[in-house]
C-alpha cells in the first residue's frame, strides 16, 4: 500500500531484512569471484580464451590479444571463433585463409580430449596452443609464446653440434668431468691416443677409476694413483690448472693439462708431444754439447763449474785449460776432415784420462778443451792428471795408413787457492796455459800470481781500443742476406772491423769481448748504428739493415734514444732497421730490457735473435721476448747433412712459421745447404755462398747487378 511503513523492529520488518541479506551477499560474493577470476585470467603469463558451445567467445585475456596482435575493439565477448580467425587474416598475422585455419583447428576443438599443437605465425613467432573441452559445451584455449624458448633450443642444439664437431676434430684428446667428479665427455681422439675402445672408458667413471684403467690396460706407466688424484684435486679446488708429462708404456709421451671449469667440474686435454719432446731434447743436447765430439760445450762447462762452486760441500777442484800443439799443421797437411777425426780421438782419450765419473771434459771450440777435476787433495792430484793427459794425447794417431802427431799444453788453476769464482779460475787457467805455450810444447803449468803478462797485454789492448774510435780506425763491412724464395737480396748485416796502425786488422773475437767488459761497446755500438743507418738510407727502399747489439748497449739506459736519433738523422724508416740480439740480452729478463725492446718494436724496428739454438733455453725466450726473426747458428747449418741436426733445423723453421717469425740461416756455404733450407721452408740465408762481408759500395753494385739480371730474365 502506498505510504505503508514497516517498523524495523516488527516481525514483518525482520523477515524482509532477513530475506534481502543472503541474496545481496551471494551477489556480492559472485561479483567478487568474477573479479578474482578476471584478475587471475588477466594476470596469467599465457594467453587464454574461452568459448561456449556455439563457438562464441566468453572471455579472453590481454596476453591472448597481444600474442596474435588482435584488436580488443573487434575481439570481445560474443564474437564467433571463425570471425576471430578472419580478423587475424585481415590484420596479416595469419599465414592462411580463415577457412583453412578453421578446418585445421576444428578437429582439435571438437575433440573430447585435450589437445596441444604448435603454430608458427607470419611474424615468425611460435605459439603452443592447448585446447581443453568444457563439460557443459565449448572449450578453453591456452596460448603460450615459445619463440624465445625455441630459439634458445635451436641455439643450444647448434652449440651441441659445434661442440660435437669440435670434439671429433680436435688434435688433442679430451676428458670432461662433472662437479661430482664423474666423466661426462670423452672424445674419439683420446681413445685413439690410448689405442682403446669406448667401452674401456664408459661415462660415469671417476678420475681414480680412469687412472686405474689406464694403468691396468698398460697404457700409462705405473703411477701412485691416490697421490696423483690428490694433487689434481688440490690444484683444481684452488682454482689452478695443473700440467704434467705422462710417459706411456709404448714409449710415447703425452702432455696432460687439467683446468677447472667455471660452472664446476674440470677438463683434461691430452696431446702427443713425443716428436716435439725428442726434438727439444736433441736441441737441448746440441745446445749444451759440441756437435763434433759430443763433449759438453763452453756453456755446459760453465754451468757445471758454477754448480760445483755453489755447492757448499764442494771440496778442492782443479780447472784445466787445454790447447793442442801442432794441430794447425795436421789440418794443413791432411785436411779438415782428418782434423775433425783427430779432434774426436782426442776427446775420447781425454775422457779415458780422467779417473772420476764426475770429472767434466769439454770442448770450447777449435782445438781448445777444458776439464774440471773433482775430489782432489791438492796440486799433486792435478799434476798426475796433467802428466797423464800430456802422455796420452801425445801418442800417435793412425788413420787409413796415415800417422798424425799432436801434443797437449795445459794451464791449471786450483780452487780455492787460485780463485773463488768461475771467471777468475778460468782466466787464471788461461794465463797458465799462455805461459806454458810461450815456454814450449807438451807442457803443463800451474797458475802463479806473477803471470800477469796477459793482463798487461789486455790493458794495452784496452788503451788502444779506447783511442781507436776518435782516430776513426773502425769501419763497417756488410754481408748480404738472401730471400730464399724470391732469390732477391733483401738486406745486409753490418759487421765491425778494426784496422789498427800498430796491430793491423784486429779480429772482432779479440776486441769485442774487451769492449763489452770495459763498457766501450756502448760507444762503438752507437757509432756502428749511426753509420749503418746512414749507409742503408742510400739503398733501395726494400733493403733492411741488420746491426748487432750487445747487452751492455741495451742496459745503458739511453739505447732507445740512440736508435731513434740514428733513424731520424739518417731518415731511415724504422721498419728497415733490424737489431740482432744474443742470448746474453735474453738472459736479462729485467723490466728495463723488456720495455726497451717493446718500445723499439712499437716504432717498427725489427728484433732478431742471433745464434738461435746455442744458448741455454732459446725456445723459452721466444715466449717472453718480442722477436721478429730468429737466426739459426752456423754450427747447425754446417752439420745440416746429419739427420739429427737437419731435424732440429726443420723444427726451428716450423716453429718460426707457426709463430709468424722470419727464420734466417747463417753460415750457408754450399748449394746443397741452400737447397735443403729451401725445401724446409726457410725464409732467408746468409753466408759465403750468398756473399762475403764487403764494403757498402760493393753491396750497391751487387744490388744493381741483381736488378739487371732480374730485368733481363
pLDDT at residue 323 tops 80: yes
pLDDT at residue 481 tops 50: yes
Q: Is residue 35 domain-shared with residue 54, that is, in the same domain? A: no
Q: Is residue 23 domain-shared with residue 93, that is, in the same domain? A: no
pLDDT band at 665; cut points 50, 70, 90: very high
pLDDT band at 95; cut points 50, 70, 90: confident
The position carrying cell 787457467 is 429
Q: Is residue 479 domain-shared with residue 610, that is, in the same domain? A: yes
The pLDDT of residue 452 is 66
Q: Is residue 628 domain-shared with residue 676, that is, in the same domain? A: yes
Give residue-wise pLDDT tens across range 420-479.
999 999 999 998 998 887 677 789 999 988 776 666 787 888 899 999 989 999 999 999
Residue 644 placed within a domain: yes
pLDDT at residue 33 tops 80: no
**Cβ atoms of residues 452 and 458 within 8 Å:** no
Alpha-carbon Rg for the chain in angstroms: 44
**CATH number (domain holding residue 127):** 3.30.450.20
Rounded to the nearest 5°, which phi and psi values hold at 475?
A: -150, 165
* Residue 409, helix vs strand vs coil: strand
165/641 Cα distance (integer angstroms) = 43
Q: Is residue 550 domain-shared with residue 674, that is, in the same domain? A: yes
pLDDT at residue 709 tops 70: no
pLDDT at residue 173 tops 70: yes
The two beta strands, 368-373 and 317-325, are antiparallel
Q: Is residue 262 domain-shared with residue 224, that is, in the same domain? A: yes
Q: What percent of the chain has pLDDT over 90?
A: 48
With residue 618 as reference, give the H or E element that holds it. Answer: helix 618-624
The pLDDT of residue 441 is 78
Q: Is residue 261 domain-shared with residue 306, that is, in the same domain? A: no
Angle between helices 520-536 and 453-468 (to 10 degrees): 40
**CATH number (domain holding residue 647):** 3.20.20.450
Average pLDDT over residues 612-619: 56
Quickly count: other Cβ atoms within 10 Å of residue 4's Cβ: 5
The pLDDT of residue 11 is 38
Q: Which residues contact 228 (CB under 8 A, 6 or more apart)?
A: 211
First vs last Cα of the chain: how many Å apart? 134
The pLDDT of residue 684 is 96
pLDDT at residue 606 tops 70: yes
The pLDDT of residue 169 is 72
Residue 128 placed within a domain: yes
Number of domains observed in the structure of the chain:
5
Q: Is residue 107 domain-shared with residue 181, that is, in the same domain? A: no
Summary mean pLDDT of the chain: 86
- Among residues 243, 272, 301, the one where a domain terminates is 272
Residue 631 placed within a domain: yes
Average pLDDT over residues 563-586: 90
The pLDDT of residue 117 is 86
Residue 164 placed within a domain: no
Q: Is residue 19 domain-shared with residue 60, that is, in the same domain? A: no
Residue 404 placed within a domain: yes
324/384 Cα distance (integer angstroms) = 19
Quickly count: other Cβ atoms within 10 Å of residue 306's Cβ: 12
Q: Which residues contact 40 (CB under 8 A, 6 or more apart)?
A: none
**Residue 33 sits in which domain range?**
11-40
Average pLDDT over residues 309-313: 78
Average pLDDT over residues 673-699: 94
Q: Is residue 553 domain-shared with residue 666, that is, in the same domain? A: yes
Lowest mean pLDDT across 19-33, 50-64, 177-191, 347-361: 19-33
**Cβ atoms of residues 382 and 374 within 8 Å:** no
The pLDDT of residue 399 is 87
Q: Which residues contact 550 (CB under 8 A, 6 or more apart)?
A: 512, 516, 521, 525, 582, 584, 585
Residue 156 placed within a domain: no
Residue 1 placed within a domain: no
- Among residues 272, 303, 319, the one where a domain terminates is 272
pLDDT band at 623; cut points 50, 70, 90: low
| Cβ-based burial of 186 (10 A; exposed 0-12, middle 13-18, buried ≥19) | buried
Give residue-wise pLDDT tens across range 253-299.
999 999 999 888 999 999 988 888 888 888 888 888 998 999 999 99
pLDDT band at 678; cut points 50, 70, 90: very high
pLDDT at residue 713 tops 60: no
Long-range contacts, stretch 451-456, CB < 8 angstroms, 24+ apart: 454/430, 455/431
Give residue-wise pLDDT tens across range 500-554.
999 999 988 888 888 887 889 999 999 999 999 999 999 999 999 999 998 888 8
Torsion of CA 203, 207, 210, 214, to 10 degrees: 150
Average pLDDT over residues 349-366: 90
Residue 75 placed within a domain: yes
Q: Is residue 251 domain-shared with residue 230, that is, in the same domain? A: yes
Angle between helices 327-334 and 336-353 (to 10 degrees): 140
- Residue spans of beta strands (DSSP E) within 114-189: 115-120, 126-133, 139-145, 173-177, 183-186
**CA angle, corner 687, sides to 684 and 691, nearest 5?**
100
216/212 Cα distance (integer angstroms) = 6
The two beta strands, 544-548 and 577-581, are parallel
Output the DSSP codes for 275-333. HHHHHHHHHHHHHHB-TTT--B-HHHHHHHHHHHHH-TT---EEEEEEEEESHHHHHHH
When comparing pLDDT for 555 and 143, which is higher? 143
User: For 303, what's the count of Cα atoms within 13 Å in the CB-facing half-sphere?
Assistant: 11
Q: Is residue 84 domain-shared with residue 22, that is, in the same domain? A: no
- Residue spans of beta strands (DSSP E) within 61-100: none
DSSP 136: T
Quickly count: other Cβ atoms within 10 Å of residue 668's Cβ: 27
pLDDT at residue 165 tops 80: no
pLDDT at residue 20 tops 70: no
Quickly count: other Cβ atoms within 10 Å of residue 581's Cβ: 23
The pLDDT of residue 15 is 44
Q: What percent of the chain has pLDDT over 70?
A: 90
Lowest mean pLDDT across 53-62, 89-98, 327-336, 582-591: 582-591
Average pLDDT over residues 227-247: 90
Q: Which residues contact 396 (CB under 8 A, 6 or more apart)?
A: 403, 404, 405
Average pLDDT over residues 30-49: 74
**CATH number (domain holding residue 404):** 3.30.70.270
- Among residues 216, 249, 272, the one where a domain terminates is 272
The pLDDT of residue 115 is 87
Amino acid at each position: 500500500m502506498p505510504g505503508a511503513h514497516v517498523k524495523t523492529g516488527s516481525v514483518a520488518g525482520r523477515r524482509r531484512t532477513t530475506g534481502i541479506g543472503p541474496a545481496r551477499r551471494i551477489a556480492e560474493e559472485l561479483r567478487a569471484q568474477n573479479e578474482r577470476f578476471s584478475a587471475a585470467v588477466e594476470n596469467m603469463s599465457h594467453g587464454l580464451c574461452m568459448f561456449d558451445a556455439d563457438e562464441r567467445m566468453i572471455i579472453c585475456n590481454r596476453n591472448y590479444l597481444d600474442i596474435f596482435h588482435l584488436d580488443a575493439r573487434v575481439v570481445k565477448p560474443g564474437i564467433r571463433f571463425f570471425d576471430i580467425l578472419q580478423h587475424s587474416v585481415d590484420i596479416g598475422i595469419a599465414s592462411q585463409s580463415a577457412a583453412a585455419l578453421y578446418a585445421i583447428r576444428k578437429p582439435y576443438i571438437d575433440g573430447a580430449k585435450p589437445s596441444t599443437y604448435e603454430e608458427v605465425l607470419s611474424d615468425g613467432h611460435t605459439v603452443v596452443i592447448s585446447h581443453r573441452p568444457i563439460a557443459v559445451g565449448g572449450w578453453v584455449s591456452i596460448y603460450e609464446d615459445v619463440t624465445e624458448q625455441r630459439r634458445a633450443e635451436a641455439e643450444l642444439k647448434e652449440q651441441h653440434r659445434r661442440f660435437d664437431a669440435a670434439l671429433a676434430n680436435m688434435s688433442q684428446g679430451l676428458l670432461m668431468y662433472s662437479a661430482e667428479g664423474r666423466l661426462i665427455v670423452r672424445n674419439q681422439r683420446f681413445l685413439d691416443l690410448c689405442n682403446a675402445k669406448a667401452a674401456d672408458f664408459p661415462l660415469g667413471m671417476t678420475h681414480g677409476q680412469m687412472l686405474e684403467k689406464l694403468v691396468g690396460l698398460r697404457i700409462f706407466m705405473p703411477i701412485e694413483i691416490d697421490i696423483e688424484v690428490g694433487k689434481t684435486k688440490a690444484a683444481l679446488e684452488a682454482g689452478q690448472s695443473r700440467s704434467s708429462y705422462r710417459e706411456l708404456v709404448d714409449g710415447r709421451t703425452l702432455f696432460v693439462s687439467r683446468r677447472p671449469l667455471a660452472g664446476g667440474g674440470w677438463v683434461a686435454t691430452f696431446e702427443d708431444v713425443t716428436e716435439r719432446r725428442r726434438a727439444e731434447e736433441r736441441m737441448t743436447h746440441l745446445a749444451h754439447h759440441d756437435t763434433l765430439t759430443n763433449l759438453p760445450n763452453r756453456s755446459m762447462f760453465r754451468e757445471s763449474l758454477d754448480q760445483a762452486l755453489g755447492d757448499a760441500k764442494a771440496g778442492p777442484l782443479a780447472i784445466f785449460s787445454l790447447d793442442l800443439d801442432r794441430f794447425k799443421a795436421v789440418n794443413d797437411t791432411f785436411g779438415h776432415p782428418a782434423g775433425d777425426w783427430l779432434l774426436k780421438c782426442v776427446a775420447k782419450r781425454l775422457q779415458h784420462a780422467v779417473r772420476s765419473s764426475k770429472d767434466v771434459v769439454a770442448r770450447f771450440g777449435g782445438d781448445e778443451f777444458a776439464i774440471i777435476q773433482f775430489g782432489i787433495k791438492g796440486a799433486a792430484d792435478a799434476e798426475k792428471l796433467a802428466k797423464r793427459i800430456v802422455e796420452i794425447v801425445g801418442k800417435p794417431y793412425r788413420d787409413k795408413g796415415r800417422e798424425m802427431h799432436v801434443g797437449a799444453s795445459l794451464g791449471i788453476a786450483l780452487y780455492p787457492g787460485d780463485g773463488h769464482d768461475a771467471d777468475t779460475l778460468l782466466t787464471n787457467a788461461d794465463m797458465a796455459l799462455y805461459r806454458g805455450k810461450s815456454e814450449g810444447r807438451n807442457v803443463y803449468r800451474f797458475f802463479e800470481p806473477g803471470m800477469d803478462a796477459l793482463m798487461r797485454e789486455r790493458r794495452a789492448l784496452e788503451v788502444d781500443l779506447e783511442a781507436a774510435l776518435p782516430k776513426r780506425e773502425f769501419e763497417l763491412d756488410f754481408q748480404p742476406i738472401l730471400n730464399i724464395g724470391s732469390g732477391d737480396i733483401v738486406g745486409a748485416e753490418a759487421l765491425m772491423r778494426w784496422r789498427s796502425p800498430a796491430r793491423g786488422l784486429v779480429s772482432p773475437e779479440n776486441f769485442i769481448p774487451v769492449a763489452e767488459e770495459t763498457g766501450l761497446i756502448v760507444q762503438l755500438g752507437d757509432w756502428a748504428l749511426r753509420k749503418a743507418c746512414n749507409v742503408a738510407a742510400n739503398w733501395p727502399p726494400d733493403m733492411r739493415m741488420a746491426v748487432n747489439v750487445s747487452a751492455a748497449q741495451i742496459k745503458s739506459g739511453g739505447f732507445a734514444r740512440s736508435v731513434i736519433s740514428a733513424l731520424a738523422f739518417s731518415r731511415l724508416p724504422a721498419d728497415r732497421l733490424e737489431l740482432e740480439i744474443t742470448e746474453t740480452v735474453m738472459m736479462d729478463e729485467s723490466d728495463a730490457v723488456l720495455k726497451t725492446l717493446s718500445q723499439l718494436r712499437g716504432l717498427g724496428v725489427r728484433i732478431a735473435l742471433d745464434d738461435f739454438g746455442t744458448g741455454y733455453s732459446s725456445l723459452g725466450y721466444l715466449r717472453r721476448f718480442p722477436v721478429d726473426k730468429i737466426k739459426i747458428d752456423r754450427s747447425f747449418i754446417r752439420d745440416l747433412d746429419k739427420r739429427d741436426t737437419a731435424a732440429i733445423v726443420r723444427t726451428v723453421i716450423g716453429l718460426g712459421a707457426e709463430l709468424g717469425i722470419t727464420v734466417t740461416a747463417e753460415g750457408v756455404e754450399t748449394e746443397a745447404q741452400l737447397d735443403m733450407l729451401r725445401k724446409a721452408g726457410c725464409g732467408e740465408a746468409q753466408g759465403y755462398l750468398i756473399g762475403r762481408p764487403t764494403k757498402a759500395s760493393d753491396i750497391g753494385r751487387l744490388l744493381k747487378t741483381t736488378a739487371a739480371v732480374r730485368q733481363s730474365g
